């Protein structure tokens, strides 16, 4: 089964959780990661990898001593990623994004340099959305960044409430076209 068909199958089973009918394009992946300083970053977090479009690109560019903590709640996506990606730098976690801090701490880390999220925030109940964003903000270093893509500007307000600075870019080269929010924990 192709990645697109398999992604669509997961979407039909869990529409709100998956939030999209096909995986993101490589153009969106490139745009999401263009401001990540891979030379410097040692702890990265990815939320909602799905079939791993961003995960693979992150691992390709990541420092050999860096760690990537990836949170995937969907059973099938999690199992497939576990089978498909073998990399000692990857910590694949079958749990909800709300629990970032616990997993970082258990592995001996306090802060992350980046949180890269594909979570369909607009589908989430307010409490869950706020809890995930609070945890993401808390786990970041002061100079850290939260990067999120979305198909609309609906989440702008809630992200502004949590982060000090935000830059929004756009790519039409995805289906659907997507906005990329790059949010800084503190003002530069």
Ligand X SMILES: C[S@@+](CC[C@H](N)C(=O)[O-])C[C@H]1O[C@@H](n2cnc3c(N)ncnc32)[C@H](O)[C@@H]1O
Q: Is position 100 an interface residue for ligand X (rule: CB under 6 A)?
A: no
44 near ligand X, judged by CB under 6 A: no
Does residue 90 touch ligand X according to CB under 6 A?
Answer: no
Buried (b) or exposed (e) across 13-28, using 16+ Cβ within 10 A? eeeebbbbebbbbeeb
Of 96 and 165, nearer to ligand X (C-beta) is 96
Residue number with CB closer to ligand X (152 or 186): 152
Considering just the CA atoms, what is the radius of gyration of the chain in Å?
15
Place of tokens 């263009």: 34
- The whole-angstrom separation of Cα 120 and Cα 149 is 9
Which CB sits closer to ligand X, 120 or 144? Answer: 120
For residue 144, state whether it binds ligand X (rule: CB under 6 A).
Answer: no
Rule CB under 6 A: say whether 139 interacts with ligand X: no
Considering only residues 105 through 124, tell me which ones interact with ligand X, judged by CB under 6 A.
Answer: 118-120
C-beta separation of 41 from 66 below 8 A: yes
**Binding of residue 174 to ligand X (CB under 6 A):** no
Please give the helix or strand (H or E) that residue 146 lies within, else none: strand 140-150
Query: Cβ contacts of residue 125 below 8 Å, gap of 6+?
Result: none
146 binds ligand X (CB under 6 A): no
Residue from 36, 41, 44, 54 binding ligand X (CB under 6 A)? 54
Instruction: Give the footprint of ligand X on this chain (CB under 6 A).
Output: 17-20, 23-24, 47-50, 53-54, 71-74, 77, 96-97, 118-120
């Amino acid at each position: 089964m192709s990645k697109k068909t398999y992604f669509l199958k997961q979407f039909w089973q869990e529409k709100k959780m998956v939030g999209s009918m096909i995986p993101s394009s490589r153009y969106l992946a490139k745009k999401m990661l263009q401001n990540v300083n891979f030379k410097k970053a040692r702890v990265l977090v990815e939320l909602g990898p799905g079939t791993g479009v961003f995960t693979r690109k992150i691992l390709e560019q990541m420092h050999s001593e860096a760690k990537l903590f990836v949170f995937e709640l969907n059973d099938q996506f999690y199992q497939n990623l576990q089978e498909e990606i073998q990399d000692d730098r990857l910590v694949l976690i079958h749990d909800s994004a709300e629990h970032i801090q616990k997993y970082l701490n258990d592995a001996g880390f306090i802060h992350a340099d980046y949180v890269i999220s594909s979570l369909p925030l607009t589908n989430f109940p307010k409490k869950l959305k706020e809890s995930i964003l609070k945890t993401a903000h808390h786990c970041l270093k002061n100079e850290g960044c939260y990067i999120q893509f979305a198909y609309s500007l609906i989440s702008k307000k809630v992200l502004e409430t949590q982060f000090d600075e935000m830059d929004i870019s756009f790519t039409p080269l995805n289906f659907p076209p997507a906005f990329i929010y790059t949010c800084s924990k503190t003002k530069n």
